[in-house]
Structure 1
Amino acid sequence: MAMAQSLAPSTYSAARAARPKARRAVPSRIVARTGAATGESARRLVAAFDPAIPLASAVTPPSGWYTDPEFLQLELDRVFLRGWQAVGHVGQVKNPNDFFTGRLGNVEFVICRDANGELHAFHNVCRHHASLLACGSGQKTCFQCPYHGWTYGLDGILLKATRISGIKNFNKNDFGLIPITVATWGPFVLAIFDDSSQNTVNDVVGDEWLGSASDLLSRSGIDTTSLPHICRREYIIECNWKVFCDNYLDGGYHVPYAHGALASGLQLQSYETSTYERVSIQRCESAPAEQEDIDRLGTKATYAFVYPNFMINRYGPWMDTNLAVPLDATRCKVVFDYFLDESLLEDHNFVDRSLKDSEQVQMEDIALCEGVQRGLESPAYSVGRYAPSVEMAMHHFHCLLHDNLSG
């Protein structure tokens, strides 16, 4: 989210998961399989929320949505492993032979550009005995399995299968890497994990991913590829992934109580929220400030939430994104990427000060989210209520989840 106390309303969202307690990102413990049987407890939890009740009368989803491992399995199957998902930014695969890896539920994936510059995505699993092929990011001319040396081109073709003399009924053309549908929209890399089709025409991806909000976000400068990537920060937060999203979507409700320094730089009464098919957009104006702060923060910020777990914050010369990835029912990894107008890249004091301000808000939000998670696990809490004047985007998010989970 926005980056600083003055860095804009973006912080109203938990989007700032801080550089907190030095926690090391660890592999997900989730094992989710598309099509897996849905447990009775998860179905009951889905049914416990009624999206048809008007916002002013509605109650929030029950606490089990945020604590039940079986419910998360259902989310992975019906939410995360269906439809376009944000997985990275184009700067990670800017040049031929660039690659990066990731994990979502039980899906290990690798995104890469081949020598001709064509973008590909594959399941990051060797077809021989299932070893992971690549880790991290960087450049490779091929993927060689560290286990038995089977080697694949960056186009997924099996180039070499070692020590298979005597093997029968084997056609190496049948043992290439399993493809994943991949595309880009503006600076973002997107993937579909359950779609076997390879129709990745980029000019329609925005409409599929963002719906009718696509044009508005383009006009807000969110689809620009001209902002260099500054840095990435990853944090493990002891809360369900939706707690982080809910915090982002409360329309600045928590800002005056949790972010005193930030609140002084915002006109909280100017918050406005619009909802679209899979997107909600919040906007807020900055409080009157010195010219230097206006140049840094802009006069109005746009904060877009793209269902189910991607947040884009555009303000002044900055854009930052937050991706909330579930690790288990009560932990998530949040990935922050920061982008900045090229004209300010050499202003190191400005960059350092902005990132420091952002980190402060992130630390505050992490404490909030972890406190909420502990409360959700308490026997004293079951459901809550919405503040109708500000929490429209949060209710919209919960309704979208219910629609996917009950379908």
Structure 2
Amino acid sequence: MNYTKQTQFIPTLNASDYSDPERFNLEIDKIFHQEWIYALHESQLPERGSYVTFEIGDKPLLFVRGTDNVIRGFYNVCVHRGHLIVEGCGQSTHFTCPYHAWTYNCDGFLRHAPGVNDLEALPKSNRSFVPIEIESMHGFVFVRLRPGGLSVKDLFADAFQDLRSRLPALDRLRFAKRFVAKVDGNWKIMIENYLECYHCTPTHPALVDLIRIKEFKIELFPFHLATRAPAGRTNNTAYNFTLKENSQVEFFGWWLWPNLTFNIFPGQQNLLAFHMLPVSAEKSIGICDYFFIDGKVDEEAQALMDWEGNVLEKEDNDLIISAHKGMKSKALSNGIFVINPDRHDITEEPLAHFNNLVSRAIKGRDSGLSRPESFVK
């Protein structure tokens, strides 16, 4: 094929950056403790007293819909002696620490402590859960462990506006199911794997049958990425879908810095929120939340989830594990990104952009969030 522009090459981060524990600790501190991290959708807290637990690195968190219908975020930690309060998700009128039975209201305030006659006599910091900063946009709840800097709206308003324009039923979508995968690989390799479709043709045969891969398009922005491709056959090898009024006739995807992706697949109105969370330098968790209109799962929706969760994600996870082993092998000082300006389906330009944001975050320049310098389309 004749290209109108010359292919370029950009080195990846150092290979050791994908497995070094000290580097990992820096990334947790400079990125995951400092940036907005997606946690859940408001529909996962449907009623007063609903709660969901979540972890960012070694930080255990708790999200609760209070009796006043307000969603709040806290550290999932008893302020008596640090025991974790609750696990998983559910609904309750209060929270009792299993260690010494200190009991808290859904708004986080301590309401009973055995042996303490006057709660007001306790230091103020020991009278309620420790709150965390949260911000919700179109029902999606983000958390920032260190307040300060730009808001979710400042960073991602354009991405959400694009999402809404592609998904007319966005406000009717409700949480349906969560798929969790533990992966023996670094979180950055997970992100990099999402940010390119160079690997799609050789490794995702059903995906290539579902969408017209050669028409795959990418748009880069300072702190998010948007992708799209027309749908292929309705009776493809991924899952069968029907075309009705308001059906999705294209694939759309977004990545939001640092670790969240949204995907709309062909067929009925749907949204998949996939967030990749670091556990250690060499282990990660991929969480995929599925959303459908009113949270209803019909045969087509189930087929989409079965393929995406059991086939597509397994294919990707196997690639991530293998790439992680290779980067750890010390065979390479670094890898190389192929920048093809004419074929979006085989370019790795977004990965270089992501690596740039990671490097700037580690250097402590406000993650570059106020003055982006990287290439933008």
State the TM-score, normalizing by the size of structure 1.
Answer: 0.78
Q: Which amino acid aligns with 1:356?
A: D
Q: Which amino acid aligns with 2:207?
A: L
| Correspondence 1:39-78 to 2 at 5 A | 56-78=8-30
Report the counterpart of residue 338 of structure 2 in structure 1.
Answer: 387
Measured at CA, do residues 165 and 216 of structure 1 come closer, stay the same or move farther in structure 2, by a change above 3 Å? Answer: closer
Q: How far does the alpha carbon of each residue in 1:246-298 deviate from its partner, in whole angstroms, 9 at most, with x for none?
A: 11001x11111001222133222211111112111111112354696452983
The separation in 1 between residues aligned to 2:289 and 2:158, in whole angstroms, is: 25
The separation in 2 between residues aligned to 1:87 and 1:195, in whole angstroms, is: 16
Q: Which runs of 5+ in 2 are unaligned?
A: 1-5, 341-346, 365-377
Report the counterpart of residue 156 of structure 2 in structure 1.
Answer: 210
Measured at CA, do residues 170 and 319 of structure 1 come closer, stay the same or move farther in structure 2, by a change above 3 Å? Answer: closer
Contact 1:212–1:276 (8 Å) recurs in 2: no
Report the counterpart of residue 195 of structure 2 in structure 1.
Answer: 249
User: Alignment partner for residue 365 of structure 1, among 316, 324, 338?
Assistant: 316
Flag the structure with higher strand content: 2
Does residue 354 of structure 1 match 2:304? yes
User: Alignment partner for residue 269 of structure 1, among 214, 225, 229?
Assistant: 214
The separation in 2 between residues aligned to 1:261 and 1:62, in whole angstroms, is: 33
Shift of 1:94: 1.9
Measured at CA, do residues 93 and 222 of structure 1 come closer, stay the same or move farther in structure 2, by a change above 3 Å? Answer: farther
Contact 1:286–1:300 (8 Å) recurs in 2: yes
Shift of 1:361: 1.4
Shift of 1:167: 10
Q: Which amino acid aligns with 1:125?
A: V
Q: How far does the alpha carbon of each residue in 1:14-41 deviate from its partner, in whole angstroms, 9 at most, with x for none?
A: xxxxxxxxxxxxxxxxxxxxxxxxxxxx
The separation in 2 between residues aligned to 1:181 and 1:346, in whole angstroms, is: 33
User: Alignment partner for residue 254 of structure 2, among 300, 304, 308?
Assistant: 304
Q: How far does the alpha carbon of each residue in 1:80-138 deviate from its partner, in whole angstroms, 9 at most, with x for none?
A: 11132101111221211001111112211100011110111111111111111111110
Measured at CA, do residues 371 and 181 of structure 1 come closer, stay the same or move farther in structure 2, by a change above 3 Å? Answer: same
Report the counterpart of residue 135 of structure 2 in structure 1.
Answer: 183
SS of aligned partner of 1:219: helix
Contact 2:193–2:320 (8 Å) recurs in 1: yes
Contact 2:159–2:254 (8 Å) recurs in 1: no
Bigger drift between 326-335 and 382-391 goes to 382-391
The separation in 1 between residues aligned to 2:113 and 2:7, in whole angstroms, is: 59
CA RMSD of aligned residues (A): 2.7
Report the counterpart of residue 285 of structure 1 in structure 2.
Answer: 230
Measured at CA, do residues 338 and 169 of structure 1 come closer, stay the same or move farther in structure 2, by a change above 3 Å? Answer: closer
| Correspondence 1:6-405 to 2 at 5 A | 56-164=8-116, 170-171=122-123, 175-195=127-147, 206-221=152-167, 224-250=170-196, 252-289=197-234, 293=241, 295=243, 298-316=248-266, 317-342=269-294, 345=296, 347-348=298-299, 350-358=300-308, 359-389=310-340, 390-405=347-362
SS of aligned partner of 2:331: coil
Contact 2:211–2:251 (8 Å) recurs in 1: no
Q: Which amino acid aligns with 1:144?
A: T
The separation in 1 between residues aligned to 2:306 and 2:130, in whole angstroms, is: 42
Contact 1:59–1:386 (8 Å) recurs in 2: yes
The separation in 2 between residues aligned to 1:163 and 1:196, in whole angstroms, is: 39
SS of aligned partner of 2:146: coil
The separation in 1 between residues aligned to 2:359 and 2:232, in whole angstroms, is: 37
Bigger drift between 384-393 and 365-374 goes to 384-393
The separation in 1 between residues aligned to 2:42 and 2:224, in whole angstroms, is: 21
Q: Which runs of 5+ in 1 are unaligned?
A: 1-53, 198-203
Q: Which amino acid aligns with 1:299?
A: V
**Which one has more relative contact order, counting CA pairs under 8 Å at least 6 apart?**
1
Stretches (4+) displaced over 4 A: 165-169, 171-174, 288-292
The separation in 1 between residues aligned to 2:318 and 2:143, in whole angstroms, is: 31
Contact 2:255–2:262 (8 Å) recurs in 1: yes
Shift of 1:158: 1.4
Identity rate, percent: 23
The separation in 1 between residues aligned to 2:47 and 2:120, in whole angstroms, is: 39
Shift of 1:212: 3.7
Contact 1:229–1:338 (8 Å) recurs in 2: yes
The separation in 1 between residues aligned to 2:243 and 2:352, in whole angstroms, is: 34
